[in-house]
Amino acid sequence: MRQVLEGSHAISEAARLARVQVVSGYPITPQTHIIEALSQHCADGTLAARFIPVESEHSAMSAVIGAAATGVRAFTATSSHGLALMHEMLHWAAAARLPIVMGEVNRALGPGWNIWMDQSDSLAQRDTGWIQLYCEDAQDALDTTLIGFRLAEAVNLPVMVIIDAFYISHTYEPVDVPEQAAVDRFLPPPNPRFRLDPADPKSLYPMVGPPAFMEMRRSLQDAMEVAEAALAQAAAAFKTEFGRSCPPIEADGCEDAEIVLVTTGSITSTARLVVEDLRARGERVGLCKLKLFRPFPAEGIRRVLGRAPRVAVIDRNVSFGVGGIFAQEIRSALCSLERRPPVFSYIVGLGGRDVPPETIAEIYRSTREAAAPDPESRWVGLNPELMGAAAR
């Protein structure tokens, strides 16, 4: 049924339809609406789940780890400082091989306090063993959350479903909300491979010394290596049931493009308009939307970008001392090719600074006109007056 939903509620609706059994959460802007909606569902009886209102995000992740270890479907959501506080337990959830799904609203980290859109929070967690899926809009968020549960339970890894602060989390859009019966067909009750059971006592996650630790970590890596195929299977089943696609990489007009723009999150929607406009003026520009970041779809990146004369990666994040994080990963994926496309790296929109069509058009122009990529990421739209103030 088509409904007008806030992006946050696209995620909470998906969690409700997935019949999550335990939800834990701690308030943080701009995530709060997700757990508010789920606690309302628990209070109203429209979701048969236990809501645990904890005293920190570290505890939120710990609570769902405890719940998932009993074999139930568990969900939480957070953002920014909350995700950073969870860091220890993100490692724990992944190495414990628990299929937890978490909504994560991208937001900058302080200081200075900033509640707005920025991918630094989720990308700082890239080595924790979580699958990371980035969403473009509310429909994408709902679909990705449902697929996320199926994927998590297929490979026994936790899944982070990531949306933009405000641009998605607080924006209302028409969303096709599936029927419960169809979701039940797509997502049967969890069938855990192991769980805490007094009738079959096991010690879960005890100390592991050097003779076995590497094998355990290799098994996590193996799970990551099959996760992309598992995502494709889940997405195919989703398409059969609901008719919508959810590819790890979406390529639009990349085959014969002179320049391919690479985007994530809501910037993709803005870039679609810019690309349409440029094509109308005879420019050969492609668009590559990246949904899957962990595991990194290197093969798909080589297939989509490998023959492009130029690639421009738009990063709403920065790894200090290196540059845009998606650009680094894409360069790394392309470096095994004999003919490597030059990768232009742009940093935009940190801390919620708007990225209007003009910014993306400027990135396109600058990529077309430059002789070669700068040695470092180019920061777009810096205010020289403020830069002077910062230098003082």
Partner 1 sequence: MSQALNTDRGLTYPGNVGCPGCGANIAVNHALRALGEKTILVIPACCYAIVSGPYPQTALKVPILHSAFACSAVTASGVRAGLDMQGDTETTVVAWAGDGGTFDIGLQSLSGAAERGDDIIFVCYDNEAYMNTGVQRSSSTPYGSRTTTTPGQGWKKTRKKNIMEIMAAHRVAYAATANIAYPDDFMRKFARAREARGATRFIHVFASCPTGWGVASGHAIKIARLATRTSVFPLYEIENGTDYTLNAGGDLPVGDYLTVQGRFKHLAPEDLALVQAEVDRDMALIQEKVAATQVRRAFFKSA
The residue (of 68 and 348) whose beta carbon lies closer to partner 1 is 68
User: By the criterion CB under 8 A, which residues form the site for partner 1?
Assistant: 21-22, 24, 48-50, 52-56, 58-59, 62-72, 74, 88-89, 92, 196-198, 200-209, 212
The residue (of 201 and 282) whose beta carbon lies closer to partner 1 is 201
CA-CA distance, 159 to 151, in Å (whole number)? Answer: 8
The residue (of 17 and 347) whose beta carbon lies closer to partner 1 is 17
Which two three-digit tokens encode residue 364?
């396109």
Q: Is 320 exposed, middle or buried (0-12, 13-18, 19+ CB in 10 A)?
A: exposed
Smallest gap from Cβ 255 to partner 1, in A, equals 48
CA-CA distance, 54 to 369, in Å (whole number)? Answer: 53
Query: How many Å is the Cα radius of gyration of the chain?
Result: 21
Which residues share a beta bridge with 75? 23, 101
CA-CA distance, 176 to 184, in Å (whole number)? Answer: 16
The residue (of 84 and 232) whose beta carbon lies closer to partner 1 is 84
The residue (of 100 and 117) whose beta carbon lies closer to partner 1 is 100
Smallest gap from Cβ 1 to partner 1, in A, equals 27
97: left (phi over 0), alpha (psi -120 to 50) or beta: left
Q: How does strand 249-252 pair with strand 285-290? A: antiparallel
Residues in contact with 198: Cβ distance below 8 Å, sequence separation at least 6, in sequence order: none
Smallest gap from Cβ 59 to partner 1, in A, equals 4
The residue (of 57 and 118) whose beta carbon lies closer to partner 1 is 57
Q: How does strand 172-176 pair with strand 2-6? A: antiparallel
Q: Which of 146, 315, 118 is nearest to 246 (CA)?
A: 146
Residue in the block written with tokens 């103030």:
389
Smallest gap from Cβ 207 to partner 1, in A, equals 4
Smallest gap from Cβ 48 to partner 1, in A, equals 8
- Are 100 and 69 a contacting pair, CB within 8 Å? no
The residue (of 19 and 378) whose beta carbon lies closer to partner 1 is 19
Smallest gap from Cβ 131 to partner 1, in A, equals 21
Residues in contact with 100: Cβ distance below 8 Å, sequence separation at least 6, in sequence order: 61, 64, 65, 68, 74, 75, 76, 93, 152, 158, 159
Smallest gap from Cβ 33 to partner 1, in A, equals 22
The residue (of 84 and 361) whose beta carbon lies closer to partner 1 is 84
Smallest gap from Cβ 97 to partner 1, in A, equals 13
